Amino acid sequence: MDQSAVFLAGSILTALGFVVVILAIVIVNNVLHKYWKPVRIFTSDSWAPFNVHARYATEEELNRIAPNLENTDSKDKPRK
């Protein structure tokens, strides 16, 4: 009887410990989400070898992208 009570209490405490760890990971992820780079799993570039050189944008590609003039202080200051 004592062993089963200890096993039940240990199982409950272990499950609660896992829940606390998962909640802590979710909270840290939500706090730091804007600094994280996306993790790509099962995409074509995730299977590329580590020594493959990066491909940089050409001038034509850069000219096709619209400039991002987002006002980061839009809450405080009205746009002109």
Residue 53, in any domain of the structure: yes
CB 71 within 8 A of CB 79: yes
**What does the alpha-carbon distance between residue 65 and residue 57 come to, in Å, rounded to a whole number?**
11
Residue 71, in any domain of the structure: no
**What does the alpha-carbon distance between residue 35 and residue 24 come to, in Å, rounded to a whole number?**
17
Say how many domains are in the chain. Answer: 1
What does the pLDDT read at residue 72?
61
Residue 9, in any domain of the structure: yes
Range of the domain at 7: 2-64
Residue 34, in any domain of the structure: yes
Whether this prediction's pTM lies above 0.95 is answered by no
**What tokens appear for 53 in the block?**
């050189």
Nearest residue to 23 (alpha-carbon basis) of 67, 49, 15 = 15
Residue 47, Cα to own-chain centre: how many angstroms? 20
Residue 17, in any domain of the structure: yes
Tell me the mean pLDDT per 10 residues along the chain, length 80: 95 97 88 71 64 74 78 57
